[in-house]
Structure 1
Amino acid sequence: MPCKLSTVSDPRTSRRDRLRAQTSAEIKTIALQLMADGGPDAISLRAIAREMGMTAGAIYSYFPTRDHLVTTLIGDVYTSAVDAAEAARDAVPADDPGGRILAWARAMREWALANPEGFRLIYGDPVPGYRPPGEGPGKEAEARACAGIVGLVAAAWPAAGERASVGGDYAWADFDPAMAAHVQEDFPDLPPAGLAVTLRVWGRMHGLIALEIYGHLRTLVHDPAAIYDDEMRDLVASLGLGR
């Protein structure tokens, strides 16, 4: 089932604006369906126009190029994923860092299963030839996701940092300079080893999700959810949080 990119109707908007918003949402939904059926290379403005019974010229008035459409899709999808993860995390008290990690992880898996094409778009299949025509809203959502996961590790670090198995000898120079600078600014008490742990946490969260989304787990186990939950509990325990 493709990611449903709905719009919120504002009574102050004109009928023309509402129809435009609805058409834009339909274009994005069909684009994700085309990707589901034929891979990322199947996203085409002309193909979408045919599906909708529109002329090519009409659809270009909504998105001037395919890359503008893909950029908008990435922003919508990424924002949807981060909204779900943040809401789940924030429903758990701040003094329960292990519970917040589990909540974030479970929310990401549930979102991915409900929006497999969206997960593939932002974490899996690159769109051939795609060149973003600007920063776009996806960068903001990506930054939120990064800050969210680093924040989970930073909250756990008082316990995790004492465990010899958690972090090796790392320096800030071992990481992308821009990412390291943001982490140092936003989480000044987190050492470089904490950023290494963050990348490992991200990998463990998303690795099993990716295997499930791409159909590799269903042939091997009847209940992927149980495998994922055990992995996340082991992850939390490895940080010294004892859940």
Structure 2
Amino acid sequence: MNPPAAPQSRRERLRAETSAEIKDIALKLLGEGGPDAISLRAIAREMGMTAGAIYGYYENRDTLVTALITDVYGTLLDTAEAARDKVPATDPAGRIVAWGMAVRAWALANPEGFRLIYGDPVPGYRPPAEGPVAEAGHRACAALTGLVAAAWPKARKLQSATSAWSDFDPALVAQVREEFPGLPPEALALSLRVWARMHGPVSLEVYGHLGRQSRDLTALYRAELADLVRSLGL
């Protein structure tokens, strides 16, 4: 049994609170002005701090963006995985629907976070090749591929298109073949299509492109997920 963590000092608590406030303001600026609006100087002005003081928390803007994406992506995946795991593993259709509905609910409650992950890229930002952002992407990929892997015994007979491993990014192929060794490339292609069908309507809704077309966007999305499940033979 691990010993209880030592309580934070007052200085540590204040630093954690300030760091969290910096992230909150960065997301607020993103929501108001788009990716270009995220800058340490702008955040410093909002907080009544000097730019130099902000640099004591984040080395540069990219370090802040990396921390933001790590937090936001992790929260989204925690939410989706928790919803999925409430449905028995013997119900792959229910787990797909639960995942999709959880992602949509989270995105509508956290539109700035959704835009940070799936919207316009922050100009000039390149996520580190290794580290928490890459790990979150791998986690998302594994979860979505796992949903399709559970459906594959019924879905495979409905797939007419053929795929080869060479059609995909080598790093993605290596990950999928390691985590799902029995899965063929056609299943990976299906995973990407399932992801597109889940996220496409959510993205349109978050960016305000569906509001005028439907009075019940929840029902519209549920219908899309139901059709997706039927297309998998579930």
Q: TM-score, normalised by structure 2?
A: 0.95
| Matched letter for residue 236 of structure 1 | V
Residue of 144, 150, 153 corresponding to 1:155: 150
Instruction: Report the Cα distance in structure 2 between the residues aligned to 1:167 and 1:56, rounded to whole angstroms.
Output: 57
Moved over 4 A (4+): none
| Residue of structure 1 equivalent to 2:119 | 124
CA offset at residue 134 of structure 1?
6.0
Instruction: Report the Cα distance in structure 1 between the residues aligned to 2:225 and 2:131, rounded to whole angstroms.
Output: 32
| Residue of structure 1 equivalent to 2:25 | 30
| Residue of structure 1 equivalent to 2:211 | 218
Instruction: Report the Cα distance in structure 2 between the residues aligned to 1:169 and 1:125, rounded to whole angstroms.
Output: 32
Q: TM-score, normalised by structure 1?
A: 0.92
> CA offsets per residue over residues 177-208 of structure 1, 9 Å max, x none?
11111111111121111011001000000000
CA offset at residue 89 of structure 1?
0.5
Contact 2:128–2:134 under 8 Å retained in 1: no
Q: Aligned residue pairs: how many?
A: 230
Which stretches in structure 2 are left out of the alignment for 5+ residues? Answer: none
Is 1:93 the counterpart of 2:94? The answer is no
* RMSD value, Cα: 1.2
Instruction: Report the Cα distance in structure 2 between the residues aligned to 1:142 and 1:131, rounded to whole angstroms.
Output: 14
| Residue of structure 2 equivalent to 1:110 | 105
Contact 2:127–2:133 under 8 Å retained in 1: no
| Residue of structure 1 equivalent to 2:38 | 43
Instruction: Report the Cα distance in structure 1 between the residues aligned to 2:180 and 2:225, rounded to whole angstroms.
Output: 23
CA offset at residue 133 of structure 1?
5.3
CA offset at residue 64 of structure 1?
1.0
CA offset at residue 136 of structure 1?
3.5
Instruction: Report the Cα distance in structure 1 between the residues aligned to 2:145 and 2:184, rounded to whole angstroms.
Output: 11
| Residue of structure 2 equivalent to 1:138 | 133
| Residue of structure 2 equivalent to 1:235 | 228
Instruction: Report the Cα distance in structure 1 between the residues aligned to 2:110 and 2:6, rounded to whole angstroms.
Output: 29
Instruction: Report the Cα distance in structure 2 between the residues aligned to 1:138 and 1:226, rounded to whole angstroms.
Output: 33
| Matched letter for residue 95 of structure 2 | R
SS in 1 for 2:127: coil
Instruction: Report the Cα distance in structure 1 between the residues aligned to 2:176 and 2:160, rounded to whole angstroms.
Output: 16
Contact 1:40–1:126 under 8 Å retained in 2: yes
Instruction: Report the Cα distance in structure 2 between the residues aligned to 1:156 and 1:217, rounded to whole angstroms.
Output: 29
| Residue of structure 2 equivalent to 1:200 | 193
Contact 2:163–2:185 under 8 Å retained in 1: yes
SS in 2 for 1:153: helix
Classify 1:167/1:178 alpha carbon distance in 2 versus 1 (closer, same or farther; 3 Å): farther
Which stretches in structure 1 are left out of the alignment for 5+ residues? Answer: 1-9
Residue of 140, 158, 161 corresponding to 1:168: 161
Instruction: Report the Cα distance in structure 2 between the residues aligned to 1:129 and 1:186, rounded to whole angstroms.
Output: 33
Instruction: Report the Cα distance in structure 2 between the residues aligned to 1:157 and 1:147, rounded to whole angstroms.
Output: 15
